[in-house]
Amino acid sequence: MSTPDLGGVVVATALPYRVDATAPAGLAVDYDAYAAHCRWLIDNGCRGVGPNGSLGEYSSLTDDERRRVARTAIETVGEDGIVVVGVHGPGSHQARHWAELAAEDGAHGLLCLPPTMYRANHGEVLAHFEAVASVGLPVMVYNNPIDTKVDLTPALLAEIAAIDNVVAVKEFSGDVRRVLEIREQAPGLDVISGADDVVLESLLMGATGWFAGFPNVFPAESVRLFDLARAGKLEEARALYEPLVAAFRWDSRTEFVQAIKLGMDLVGRYGGPCRPPRGPLTDEHREQVTADMRRALASLGVG
Q: What is the pLDDT of residues 168-186, one digit of tens each?
A: 999 999 999 999 999 999 9
Q: Report how far residue 138's alpha carbon sits from residue 106's, in angstroms, rounded to the nearest whole number.
A: 12
Q: Where are the domains of the chain?
A: 8-231
Residue 271 pLDDT class (50, 70, 90 cuts): very high
Can 142 be counted among the known catalytic residues?
yes
The one-character DSSP state at 114 is S
Encode pLDDT of 29-38 as tens digits.
999 999 999 9
Among 3, 15, 11, 126, which Cα is nearest to 69's? 15
- Exposure string for 182-193, b = 16+ CB within 10 A, e = fewer: bbebbeebbbbb
pLDDT tops 50 at residue 45: yes
Per-chain mean pLDDT for the chain = 96
Q: How many CB atoms lie within 10 A of CB 210?
A: 31
Encode pLDDT of 98-144 as tens digits.
999 999 999 999 999 999 999 999 999 999 999 999 999 999 999 99
pLDDT of the residue at 147: 87
Average pLDDT, integer, range 258-279: 97
Phi/psi at 191 (nearest 5 deg)? -100, 125
pLDDT of the residue at 40: 98
Q: Report how far residue 36's alpha carbon sits from residue 247's, in angstroms, rounded to the nearest whole number.
A: 24
Catalytic residue among 17, 34, 58, 170: 170
pLDDT of the residue at 50: 98
pLDDT tops 50 at residue 62: yes
pLDDT tops 70 at residue 1: no
pLDDT of the residue at 303: 56
Encode pLDDT of 183-223 as tens digits.
999 999 999 999 999 999 999 999 999 999 999 999 999 99
C-alpha dihedral (256, 191, 137, 90), degrees to nearest 10: -50
Can 261 be counted among the known catalytic residues?
no
pLDDT tops 90 at residue 4: no
Superfamily name with CATH number, domain 8-231: Aldolase class I (3.20.20.70)
Q: Which residues contact 137 (CB under 8 A, 6 or more apart)?
A: 2, 99, 102, 103, 107, 108, 109, 110, 165
Q: Report how far residue 171's alpha carbon sits from residue 168's, in angstroms, rounded to the nearest whole number.
A: 9
Catalytic residue among 142, 149, 233, 261: 142
Helix (H) or strand (E) holding 130: helix 122-133
pLDDT of the residue at 301: 82
pLDDT tops 70 at residue 2: no
